[in-house]
Structure 1
Amino acid sequence: MLEVRRLRLLAEFARRGSIAATAAALGYTPSAVSQQLAALEREARVPLLDRTARSAELTDAGRRLAARAGEILALVESAEAELSAQAGLPAGRIAVTAFPTAAVAFAPALARGLADHPGMTFVLRQTRPGDGIRQVQSGEADIALVDDWTGKLPEQGPAALEFLRLQRDPLLLVVPAGHPMADPARPVDLQALREESWMAAPAGEPSRAAVERLLDTVGGARPVPWEFEGLHTILSLVARGIGITAVPALALAADPGVAVRAIPGCDLAREVYAVVRRASLRRPSVEVTLRALYAAAREPDPGPPRND
C-alpha cells in the first residue's frame, strides 16, 4: 500500500528536482526526505530514484508514479473537502500567500470576514512573484493572490488550479501633494512630466515594465527611473516630494499621503486573481476565505482618482 504522505514528497521532488529543495519547501531535513522516499520505493517495489553521491533524479517508474501522485492527492483532497462540506462549519488552518501590495490591501477585509469563524486558524504571508502558484500546487498554501500584466496567466496555469478573477488594478499617476499636477483641475500631461525624477521598481519587476511602457508613450528618449525595492518605499519617497511614479491602484491602500491621478488614454492594468486547488474548492474554510476576498475586491477605494 502506498502511503499518501510519501506520495506528496515524491510529487514535490518531481517539481523541485532535488532532495534539498524538497526538504526546504516542506520543512523537513534532507535526511528525512531521503528516508521517506526510500520507504516509498520499498512500498512500490521498484526503484523510483537514481541516486549518486551528489544528486538524485527520477527513474522512468518514478516519473510515472509522480504524475499519478498528483491525481491521487487531488482525489484525496476532494474527498476531504466533501466531508468538510457535510460538516458545514469552517475549521482548521487556512494559509494565504499574496504579493506585497495585495497583502496590505486585502488583510483588513480578510481579518473582518474571518473573525466570525473561531474554528479557523488563518495565516497570511507575502511572497515573491511566481512563488504563490507553486506554493498552492505543493499544498504549502491554500490560496494565492497573484497578479498578471499579460492577460494570459489563467490559460498558462496548471490544470489542477482554479484562477478566480478578483479585480482589475489600473496603473495610476502618483505625485507629491504639493506638485502642480496634484491639482484635479489641471489636466494630466505626461509630456510635461518628462524631465521629472521618475521612480520605479527594479528592472525585471512587472510594475517596472508597466512604467516603462507608459513612458514610451511620451515620445523621445524614455526617462530612466531611479530604482527602489518595494512600491511602498517608492510611495513614501513621493510623499516626501522626492519624485513621481506610476503604480497600480492596490499599492495605494495604505494611504501614503500623495496625490493620485488617473492617466487619460492609459489602459495599462494588471488582473488580480485568487488561485486555489480545484480539489479544495468545496472546503468550507476555503469558501469563506474566498467570499472575504471577493468582498474586499468590491470595496471602493478610499480616495478614488479623478478623471479629467
Structure 2
Amino acid sequence: MLELRRLRLLTEFVRRGSIAATASSLGYTPSAVSQQLAALEREVGVALLDRTARSAELTDAGRRLAERSEEILTLVEAAEADLSAQENAPTGRVVVTGFPTAAVAFAPALARSLGDHPGLTFVLRQTRPGEGLRQVQSGEVDIALIDDWTGKAPEQAPSTLKFFHLRRDPVVLALPEGHAMADPTVPVDLQELRDQPWMAAPAGEPSRRAVERLLDTVGGARPVPWEFEGLHTILSLVARGIGITAVPALTLAAGDQGVAVRRLPGRTIAREVYAVTRTASVRRPSVAVTLGAIHAAARQTQPTPPES
C-alpha cells in the first residue's frame, strides 16, 4: 500500500526539482528524503528517479505517479474535510501565512475574532513574496495571504487552489506631517515632488516598481537615494522627515505616527489582495471560520485617506 507521506515527498520533489531542495523545504536531511523515495520505489516496483552522482530526475513512471499523487492527496484532503464538516465547532490547528503588511494589518482583528473558538489553534506567519502559493499548495500551510500586482494570479493558478478576493490596495503618497503637501487642501503635484528625496524598497521589489511607475508619469526622477528592506522601516524614516515615499495603503494600517497620507492624482496604481487555500480544504470548519475572520479583518482595515 502506498504511504501518503512518501507521495507528499514525491510531489514536493516535483515542485523543488532536487532532493536537496526538497529536504530543505520540508526540514529533512537529503539522506532521509532519498531513503523515503527509494522506499516508495520498492513499494511500486519501478524506478521513479533517474539518479546520477550529482542530480536526480523523474523517470516516465515517476512523472505518472507524481500526477496521480496530486489527485490522491487532494481526494484524501477532501474526504477529511467532508468528515470534519460534520463537527459542530471548529477545532485543531490552522496555519496562515501572509506577506508582511497583510500579516501586520489583519493580526489584531483575527486575534479578536478567532478568540471566540477555544478549540482552534491559530498560527500566523510572515512569508517572502512568491512563497505563499507554494506553501499552501504543498500543504505546509492552510491559507496564504498573497498580493498580486498583475491582475492575473487567480487565472494562472492550478485548479487545486481556491482564491478569495479580499480587497484592492491602492498605492498612496506618504509624507512627513510637516511637509507642505501634507495639508489636504493643497493639491498633490508629482511634478513638484519629483526631485525630492524618495525612499523605496530594493530594486525588483513590487513596491519599488510601483514607485518607479509613478514617477515615470512625470518624466522620471533622479535615482532613489535610499533603499531599505521593509516598508515599515521606510515609513518610520518618513515620520522623521528624512524623505517621502509611495506605498500600498495597507502598509499604513498600523497608524504610523508622524506620517501624512495623500491619495495620488491620476490613474491609481494598486495591487489585489487574496486569501488562498486548497480547494479540497474549504469545507473544513477550522479553515472556513478562519477565512470568514480574514474577510472581516480585510473589511475593517481601510486605511486609504479620503479624497481631498
Q: TM-score, normalised by structure 2?
A: 0.97
Q: What's the offset of the Cα at 1:87?
A: 1.6
Range moving further from structure 2, 200-209 or 51-60: 51-60
Paired amino acid for 1:77: E
Residue 224 (structure 1) aligns with: 223
1:151-170 maps to which residues of 2 (within 5 A)? 151-170=151-170
Alignment match, 1:273: 274
3-state SS of the aligned residue for 2:21?
helix
Distance 2:182 2:44 in 1: 67
Query: 1:86 aligns to what SS in structure 2?
Result: coil
Answering whether residue 178 of structure 2 is matched by residue 178 of structure 1, we say: yes
Summarize the Cα distance change of 1:304–1:271 in structure 2 as closer, same or farther, 3 Å threshold: closer
1:244-288 Cα shifts (integer Å, max 9, x gaps): 001001100121120000112231100000011000000011001
Which stretch has the larger CA shift, 276-285 or 47-56? 47-56
1:183-262 equivalences under 5 Å are 183-219=183-219, 221-225=220-224, 226-257=226-257, 258-262=259-263
Q: Which residue of 2 aligns with 1:30?
A: 30
In the alignment of these two chains, the number of paired residues is: 306
Structure 1 vs Structure 2 CA RMSD: 1.1
The alpha-carbon deviation at position 109 of structure 1 amounts to: 1.2
Q: Distance in 2 between matches of 1:89 and 1:44?
A: 40
Look up the SS of the partner of 1:162 in the other structure.
strand
Q: 1:186 to 1:174 in 2, by over 3 A?
A: same
Following superposition, which runs of at least 4 residues in structure 1 exceed 3 angstroms of deviation? none
* Partner in structure 2 of residue 105 of structure 1: 105
Write the distance in 2 (CA, Å) between the matches of 1:306 and 1:271. Answer: 20
- Give 1:89 shift: 1.8
Paired amino acid for 2:277: V
The unaligned stretches of length 5 or more in structure 2 are none
Aligned amino acid, residue 146 of structure 1: I
**Percent of aligned positions with the same letter in both sequences?**
75
Preserved contact between residue 197 and residue 243 of structure 1 (Cα < 8 Å): yes
| Alpha-carbon displacement from aligned partner over 1:82-119 (angstroms, at most 9, x marks no partner) | 00001232111111110110110011111111111121
Letter in 2 for 1:223: R
Letter in 2 for 1:295: A
In structure 2, the residue matched to 1:126 is 126
Taking the aligned partners of 1:304 and 1:72, their CA distance within structure 2 comes to: 44
Which 10-residue stretch deviates more, 127-136 or 155-164?
Answer: 155-164
Inter-partner Cα distance in structure 2 for 1:95 and 1:133: 13
**Equivalent position amino acid for 1:82 in 2:** D
* Aligned position for 2:264: 263
| 2:295 is the counterpart of 1:294 | yes
Q: Distance in 2 between matches of 1:253 and 1:45?
A: 56
Q: For residue 4 of structure 1, report the CA deviation from its aligned partner.
A: 1.2
Code of the residue aligned with 1:20 in structure 2: it is A
Q: Which amino acid aligns with 1:242?
A: I
Distance 1:30 1:58 in 2: 16
Shift of 1:36: 1.2
CA distance in 1, matches of 2:182, 2:190: 13
Q: How far apart are 1:205 and its partner, in Å?
A: 0.5
Q: Does 1:285 align with 2:286?
A: yes
Aligned to 1:39: 39
Could you tell me whether the CA contact under 8 Å between 2:253 and 2:301 is conserved in 1? Answer: no
Residues 97 and 141 in structure 2, CA contact (< 8 A), matched pair in contact too? yes
- C-alpha displacement of 1:223: 3.0
1:199 is displaced (CA, Å) by 0.8
Unaligned stretches of 5+ in structure 1? Answer: none
SS in 2 for 1:88: coil
2: distance between equivalents of 1:131 and 1:25? 11
Q: Relative to 1, partners in 2 of residues 1:2 and 1:245: Cα closer, same or farther, differing over 3 Å?
A: same
Q: Distance between the aligned counterparts of 2:120 and 2:61, measured in 1?
A: 40
Structure 2 matches for 1:10-29, cutoff 5 A? 10-29=10-29
